[in-house]
Amino acid sequence: MQASPGSPLVELRKVSLAYGSGPSRMLALEDATLDIAKGEFIAVVGPSGCGKSTLMKLVTGLLPPTGGEVRVHGQPVKGPIRGVGMAFQAPTLMPWRTTRDNILLPLEVVEPHKRRFRRNKAEYIERVEKLLASVGLGGFGDKFPWQLSGGMQQRSSLCRALVHEPEILMLDEPFGALDAFTREELWGVMQALWLERRFTAVLVTHDLREAVYLADTVYVMSRRPGRIVKVSKIELPRPRTLETTFTAEFVDIVHDLRERIHMEHA
């Protein structure tokens, strides 16, 4: 079945997920229903442990849902889907590879690059160098990850998630472990990359300002078992800047979201 034009890229229909079985069975996500349009940037916010990472794994097919259905391109997801890039809170770079070789990894694994990799390595290396430069890491390709700062590692991790030009980018609190300055700087980097490439992005975060800065749509999740309790369209013009975050409009949106989340803790 081919997706009809205008239909969403990713569809979640009443998706639930329970970890474990028997007495240790625990519902992590309940009846999540949401659509992600092609090229849309969504953010999922919610208290820690509410099932945000779980939701992400469901979308990418890393976990099969225990209930409901996940569709990508109109097709039910049955295993890890192709064309995804992922970045986590930990950079998960391979310490035995240089930064450049780390970023080359997806090209060694994903078709059609895999097939062309050996013969066109120079071309791919050039692509990596360009990407590195665009996130402000020009000239650091030869360094090993452990020779880079946390922020630089996270930039490299973003490069690795994007180098094969995935259709969907999954970001699981990628800036969560960074200091405030680096984090806000990387919001700008992230937005620039998205504006240039228009991939579909799912950002999981517990930072409301981050969500509002980056996303077109913010989904608020309840405490465990996670349900989607609020959907908020962010109509702020792009490119957003740090200045934007001080405007009344921005502050209001963040305030609304925070209210809703506080209700969860009441």
Partner 1 sequence: MTETQRRLLLVAMPWLAMAGLLILWELACIVFDVPEILAPRPTRIFEVMVLRWDILLKYCLETLWTTAIGFVLAIGFGVLLGLAVGASPFVYSGLYPLLIAFNAVPKVAIVPILMIWLGVGALPAIITAFVISFFPIVVNVATGLATIEPEMRDVMRSLGASQWEILTKVGVPRAMPYLFASLKVAVTLAFIGSVISETVGGNRGIGFLMLSAGARNDSATTFAGLFAIAIMGVLMYAACALVERRMTRWAFRGEIVG
Ligand X SMILES: Nc1ncnc2c1ncn2[C@@H]1O[C@H](COP(=O)(O)OP(=O)(O)O)[C@@H](O)[C@H]1O
Residues that bind Mg ion (CB under 5 A): 53
Binding map of ligand X across residues 4-23, x = CB under 6 A, - = no contact: ---------------xx---
Is residue 75 within 8 A of residue 1, CB to CB? The reply is: yes
Piece in contact with partner 1 (CB under 8 A), picked from 35-43, 93-101, 217-225, 240-248: 93-101
Is residue 39 within 8 A of residue 200, CB to CB? The reply is: yes
Is residue 65 a contact point for partner 1 (CB under 8 A)?
no
Is residue 28 a contact point for ligand X (CB under 6 A)?
yes
Residues 222, 47: Cα–Cα separation, whole Å: 7
Site for ligand X, residues 120 to 139, rule: CB under 6 A:
none
Is residue 101 a contact point for partner 1 (CB under 8 A)?
no
Is residue 90 a contact point for partner 1 (CB under 8 A)?
yes
Residues 108, 99: Cα–Cα separation, whole Å: 15
Residue type, 245: T
When the beta carbons of 50 and 93 are compared against ligand X, the nearer one is 50
- DSSP one-letter string for 20-50: S-GGG-EEEEEEEEEEE-TT-EEEEE-STTS
Is residue 177 a contact point for partner 1 (CB under 8 A)?
no
Piece in contact with ligand X (CB under 6 A), picked from 46-54, 75-83, 117-125, 133-141: 46-54
Is residue 212 within 8 A of residue 195, CB to CB? The reply is: no
Residues 266, 264: Cα–Cα separation, whole Å: 6
Is residue 108 a contact point for partner 1 (CB under 8 A)?
yes
- Which of 9, 42, 54, 81 touches ligand X (CB under 6 A)? 54
Q: For residue 195, give the 3-state DSSP assignment.
A: helix
Residue 67: which residues within 8 A CB-CB, separation 6 or more? 14, 15, 16, 17, 31
Is residue 144 a contact point for partner 1 (CB under 8 A)?
yes
When the beta carbons of 145 and 225 are compared against ligand X, the nearer one is 225
Is residue 102 within 8 A of residue 156, CB to CB? The reply is: yes
Piece in contact with partner 1 (CB under 8 A), picked from 142-150, 182-190, 218-226, 228-236: 142-150
Find the shortest distance in angstroms from Cβ 254 to partner 1.
29
* Interface residues toward partner 1, by CB under 8 A: 57, 60, 62, 80-82, 84-86, 88, 90, 92, 94-96, 105-106, 108-111, 144, 146-147, 160, 164, 170
